[in-house]
Protein backbone atom coordinates (compact mmCIF):
# COMPACT_ATOMS: atom_id res chain seq x y z
CA UNK A 1 0.00 0.00 0.00
CA UNK A 2 1.37 3.44 -0.89
CA UNK A 3 1.82 5.88 2.01
CA UNK A 4 -0.39 8.96 2.24
CA UNK A 5 1.03 11.97 0.33
CA UNK A 6 3.52 13.91 2.41
CA UNK A 7 4.25 11.04 4.81
CA UNK A 8 7.74 11.65 6.28
CA UNK A 9 10.29 8.88 6.18
CA UNK A 10 11.83 7.79 9.47
CA UNK A 11 15.15 8.10 11.17
CA UNK A 12 16.11 4.90 12.91
CA UNK A 13 16.64 5.39 16.65
CA UNK A 14 20.21 5.94 17.79
CA UNK A 15 21.78 3.84 20.52
CA UNK A 16 20.95 6.62 22.97
CA UNK A 17 17.32 6.59 21.80
CA UNK A 18 17.10 2.83 22.22
CA UNK A 19 18.60 3.01 25.71
CA UNK A 20 16.05 5.65 26.67
CA UNK A 21 13.14 3.67 25.27
CA UNK A 22 14.23 0.54 27.11
CA UNK A 23 14.71 2.29 30.45
CA UNK A 24 12.05 5.00 30.59
CA UNK A 25 9.12 4.51 32.94
CA UNK A 26 6.87 6.69 30.80
CA UNK A 27 3.95 5.04 29.01
CA UNK A 28 2.82 8.05 26.98
CA UNK A 29 2.63 7.74 23.20
CA UNK A 30 4.76 10.86 22.83
CA UNK A 31 7.62 9.47 24.90
CA UNK A 32 7.55 6.08 23.20
CA UNK A 33 7.08 7.26 19.61
CA UNK A 34 9.63 5.65 17.26
CA UNK A 35 8.33 7.43 14.14
CA UNK A 36 8.33 4.24 12.07
CA UNK A 37 7.28 5.07 8.54
CA UNK A 38 6.07 3.09 5.54
CA UNK A 39 8.24 0.42 3.93
CA UNK A 40 10.70 1.49 1.25
CA UNK A 41 9.98 0.87 -2.42
CA UNK A 42 11.60 -2.18 -3.98
CA UNK A 43 12.43 -0.26 -7.15
CA UNK A 44 13.20 3.39 -7.85
CA UNK A 45 13.08 5.60 -10.93
CA UNK A 46 15.90 8.12 -10.67
CA UNK A 47 16.47 11.26 -12.68
CA UNK A 48 19.90 12.88 -12.92
CA UNK A 49 19.40 16.48 -14.09
CA UNK A 50 22.29 17.70 -16.25
CA UNK A 51 22.04 21.46 -16.67
CA UNK A 52 24.16 23.82 -18.75
CA UNK A 53 26.52 23.07 -21.60
CA UNK A 54 29.81 23.15 -19.74
CA UNK A 55 31.52 20.23 -18.08
CA UNK A 56 29.95 18.87 -14.89
CA UNK A 57 32.30 17.25 -12.41
CA UNK A 58 32.15 13.47 -12.44
CA UNK A 59 32.34 13.56 -8.63
CA UNK A 60 28.98 15.35 -8.59
CA UNK A 61 27.31 12.21 -9.96
CA UNK A 62 29.07 9.67 -7.73
CA UNK A 63 26.29 9.67 -5.08
CA UNK A 64 24.15 7.77 -7.60
CA UNK A 65 26.92 5.22 -8.03
CA UNK A 66 26.88 4.63 -4.26
CA UNK A 67 23.13 4.01 -4.41
CA UNK A 68 23.55 1.55 -7.27
CA UNK A 69 25.59 -0.65 -4.95
CA UNK A 70 22.27 -1.50 -3.29
CA UNK A 71 20.88 -2.84 -6.55
CA UNK A 72 20.20 -6.56 -6.88
CA UNK A 73 22.90 -7.01 -9.51
CA UNK A 74 25.59 -5.10 -7.60
CA UNK A 75 24.96 -6.85 -4.27
CA UNK A 76 25.15 -10.23 -5.93
CA UNK A 77 28.31 -9.23 -7.78
CA UNK A 78 29.90 -8.11 -4.49
CA UNK A 79 29.30 -11.59 -3.04
CA UNK A 80 26.87 -10.61 -0.30
CA UNK A 81 25.16 -13.30 1.80
CA UNK A 82 21.78 -14.51 0.55
CA UNK A 83 19.82 -12.66 3.23
CA UNK A 84 21.49 -9.42 2.12
CA UNK A 85 21.02 -10.12 -1.58
CA UNK A 86 17.28 -10.63 -1.09
CA UNK A 87 16.97 -7.00 0.05
CA UNK A 88 18.51 -5.59 -3.11
CA UNK A 89 16.44 -3.07 -5.07
CA UNK A 90 15.71 -2.36 -8.70
CA UNK A 91 17.05 0.89 -10.16
CA UNK A 92 16.13 2.68 -13.37
CA UNK A 93 18.42 5.69 -13.87
CA UNK A 94 17.60 8.32 -16.49
CA UNK A 95 19.82 11.23 -17.52
CA UNK A 96 17.87 14.40 -18.28
CA UNK A 97 19.30 17.37 -20.18
CA UNK A 98 18.02 20.51 -21.83
CA UNK A 99 18.81 19.16 -25.29
CA UNK A 100 17.24 15.78 -24.53
CA UNK A 101 19.64 13.88 -26.74
CA UNK A 102 23.26 13.04 -27.47
CA UNK A 103 26.14 12.71 -25.03
CA UNK A 104 26.70 15.04 -22.09
CA UNK A 105 30.36 15.66 -21.28
CA UNK A 106 31.67 15.28 -17.74
CA UNK A 107 35.14 15.98 -16.42
CA UNK A 108 37.91 13.37 -16.74
CA UNK A 109 36.89 12.76 -20.34
CA UNK A 110 33.66 10.92 -19.51
CA UNK A 111 30.41 11.22 -21.44
CA UNK A 112 26.91 10.30 -20.30
CA UNK A 113 24.21 9.27 -22.79
CA UNK A 114 21.18 11.55 -22.36
CA UNK A 115 17.96 9.56 -22.12
CA UNK A 116 15.30 12.18 -21.37
CA UNK A 117 14.47 15.80 -22.14
CA UNK A 118 13.01 18.37 -19.76
CA UNK A 119 9.61 17.63 -21.31
CA UNK A 120 9.67 14.03 -20.09
CA UNK A 121 6.38 12.66 -18.80
CA UNK A 122 8.15 10.49 -16.25
CA UNK A 123 7.67 11.20 -12.56
CA UNK A 124 10.87 10.37 -10.73
CA UNK A 125 11.14 8.91 -7.24
CA UNK A 126 14.50 10.62 -6.68
CA UNK A 127 16.15 13.52 -8.49
CA UNK A 128 19.87 14.28 -8.28
CA UNK A 129 21.11 17.68 -9.44
CA UNK A 130 24.88 17.75 -9.99
CA UNK A 131 26.39 21.22 -9.98
CA UNK A 132 26.23 23.36 -13.12
CA UNK A 133 28.60 26.34 -13.48
CA UNK A 134 28.07 28.91 -10.74
CA UNK A 135 27.06 31.43 -13.44
CA UNK A 136 24.26 29.18 -14.74
CA UNK A 137 20.85 30.80 -15.12
CA UNK A 138 17.85 28.50 -14.97
CA UNK A 139 15.80 28.32 -18.16
CA UNK A 140 12.01 28.40 -18.19
CA UNK A 141 11.92 24.77 -19.34
CA UNK A 142 14.13 23.68 -16.43
CA UNK A 143 12.01 25.75 -14.03
CA UNK A 144 8.86 24.00 -15.24
CA UNK A 145 10.54 20.60 -14.95
CA UNK A 146 11.59 21.19 -11.34
CA UNK A 147 8.21 22.66 -10.39
CA UNK A 148 6.35 19.69 -11.86
CA UNK A 149 8.61 17.08 -10.32
CA UNK A 150 8.85 18.60 -6.83
CA UNK A 151 5.13 19.32 -6.56
CA UNK A 152 4.30 15.65 -6.99
CA UNK A 153 3.68 14.05 -3.56
CA UNK A 154 5.26 10.81 -4.74
CA UNK A 155 8.70 12.40 -5.12
CA UNK A 156 10.73 10.88 -2.30
CA UNK A 157 13.67 13.29 -2.39
CA UNK A 158 15.50 15.87 -4.46
CA UNK A 159 19.25 16.06 -3.90
CA UNK A 160 21.64 18.79 -4.94
CA UNK A 161 25.41 18.48 -5.04
CA UNK A 162 27.56 21.61 -4.63
CA UNK A 163 26.27 24.27 -7.08
CA UNK A 164 23.34 21.98 -7.89
CA UNK A 165 21.51 23.93 -5.22
CA UNK A 166 21.43 27.02 -7.48
CA UNK A 167 18.70 25.73 -9.81
CA UNK A 168 16.50 24.92 -6.81
CA UNK A 169 16.99 28.43 -5.44
CA UNK A 170 16.37 30.08 -8.81
CA UNK A 171 13.18 28.04 -9.18
CA UNK A 172 11.97 29.43 -5.81
CA UNK A 173 11.83 25.95 -4.27
CA UNK A 174 13.92 26.67 -1.17
CA UNK A 175 11.72 29.18 0.64
CA UNK A 176 11.89 28.55 4.42
CA UNK A 177 14.26 25.66 3.83
CA UNK A 178 17.63 25.02 5.41
CA UNK A 179 20.21 23.97 2.83
CA UNK A 180 23.94 23.58 2.31
CA UNK A 181 25.87 25.37 -0.41
CA UNK A 182 29.49 25.93 -1.48
CA UNK A 183 31.34 28.04 1.06
CA UNK A 184 32.44 30.72 -1.42
CA UNK A 185 28.88 31.29 -2.64
CA UNK A 186 27.25 31.70 0.77
CA UNK A 187 27.52 35.53 0.99
CA UNK A 188 25.80 36.10 -2.36
CA UNK A 189 23.21 33.37 -1.75
CA UNK A 190 22.27 34.85 1.63
CA UNK A 191 21.86 38.24 -0.01
CA UNK A 192 19.90 37.07 -3.06
CA UNK A 193 17.74 34.43 -1.32
CA UNK A 194 17.15 35.75 2.22
CA UNK A 195 14.13 33.50 2.84
CA UNK A 196 16.40 30.46 2.77
CA UNK A 197 18.70 29.46 5.63
CA UNK A 198 22.12 28.80 4.10
CA UNK A 199 24.40 26.50 6.12
CA UNK A 200 28.15 26.04 5.86
CA UNK A 201 28.09 22.28 6.59
CA UNK A 202 28.83 19.08 4.67
CA UNK A 203 25.19 18.26 4.03
CA UNK A 204 21.71 19.13 5.23
CA UNK A 205 18.31 17.45 4.99
CA UNK A 206 15.15 19.50 5.39
CA UNK A 207 12.03 17.56 4.54
CA UNK A 208 12.59 15.89 1.19
CA UNK A 209 15.25 18.42 0.14
CA UNK A 210 18.81 17.17 0.59
CA UNK A 211 21.84 19.28 -0.21
CA UNK A 212 25.59 19.17 0.23
CA UNK A 213 28.07 21.99 0.03
CA UNK A 214 30.92 20.27 -1.79
CA UNK A 215 31.35 17.47 -4.30
CA UNK A 216 33.15 15.22 -1.80
CA UNK A 217 30.20 15.45 0.59
CA UNK A 218 27.80 13.83 -1.85
CA UNK A 219 28.60 10.29 -0.73
CA UNK A 220 27.98 11.18 2.93
CA UNK A 221 24.65 12.75 2.00
CA UNK A 222 23.57 9.73 -0.03
CA UNK A 223 24.63 7.32 2.70
CA UNK A 224 22.55 9.23 5.24
CA UNK A 225 19.54 9.18 2.93
CA UNK A 226 19.93 5.44 2.28
CA UNK A 227 20.00 4.75 6.01
CA UNK A 228 16.90 6.85 6.52
CA UNK A 229 14.75 5.79 3.60
CA UNK A 230 15.68 2.10 3.50
CA UNK A 231 15.11 1.65 7.24
CA UNK A 232 13.48 -1.72 6.54
CA UNK A 233 16.58 -2.88 4.61
CA UNK A 234 19.03 -1.70 7.24
CA UNK A 235 21.29 -4.77 7.18
CA UNK A 236 21.66 -4.61 3.41
CA UNK A 237 22.35 -0.86 3.52
CA UNK A 238 25.02 -1.22 6.20
CA UNK A 239 26.62 -4.14 4.35
CA UNK A 240 26.80 -2.09 1.16
CA UNK A 241 28.11 1.04 2.88
CA UNK A 242 30.72 -0.95 4.74
CA UNK A 243 31.82 -2.48 1.44
CA UNK A 244 32.13 1.05 0.06
CA UNK A 245 34.15 2.21 3.06
CA UNK A 246 31.54 4.69 4.27
CA UNK A 247 31.87 5.35 7.98
CA UNK A 248 28.94 4.47 10.19
CA UNK A 249 26.96 7.52 11.18
CA UNK A 250 23.19 7.41 11.42
CA UNK A 251 22.51 10.86 12.78
CA UNK A 252 24.44 14.10 12.91
CA UNK A 253 24.30 17.85 13.31
CA UNK A 254 23.90 18.23 9.57
CA UNK A 255 20.29 17.06 9.79
CA UNK A 256 17.55 19.67 10.19
CA UNK A 257 14.33 18.75 11.92
Three-state DSSP class for residue 167: helix
Of 117, 113, 82, 111, the C-alpha closest to 99 is: 117
CA separation for the pair 53, 59 (Å, rounded): 17
What residue spans define the domains of the chain?
Answer: 43-244
Helix axis angle for 218-229 and 234-244, nearest 10°, is 160
Q: pTM of the prediction? A: 0.83
CATH architecture label of 43-244: 3-Layer(aba) Sandwich (3.40)
Question: Chunked in runs of 10, what are the mean pLDDT values of the chain (257 residues)?
Answer: 44 51 54 66 97 91 96 94 94 96 94 96 97 93 97 97 97 97 96 97 96 95 97 96 81 46
Do 240 and 75 contact (CB within 8 A), yes or no?
Answer: yes
For every residue of 84-123, DSSP letters joined together read HHTT-BEEEEEEEESS-SSEEEBGGG-EEE--EETT----
Amino acid sequence: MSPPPGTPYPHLPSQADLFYLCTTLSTSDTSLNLNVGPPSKSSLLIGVLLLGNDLIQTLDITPIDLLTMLSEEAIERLGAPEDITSDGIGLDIRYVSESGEGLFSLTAGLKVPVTESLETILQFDLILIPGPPSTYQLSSAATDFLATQTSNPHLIAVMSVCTGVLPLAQASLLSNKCVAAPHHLLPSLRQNFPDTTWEDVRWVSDGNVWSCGAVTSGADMMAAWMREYFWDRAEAVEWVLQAAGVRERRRGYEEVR
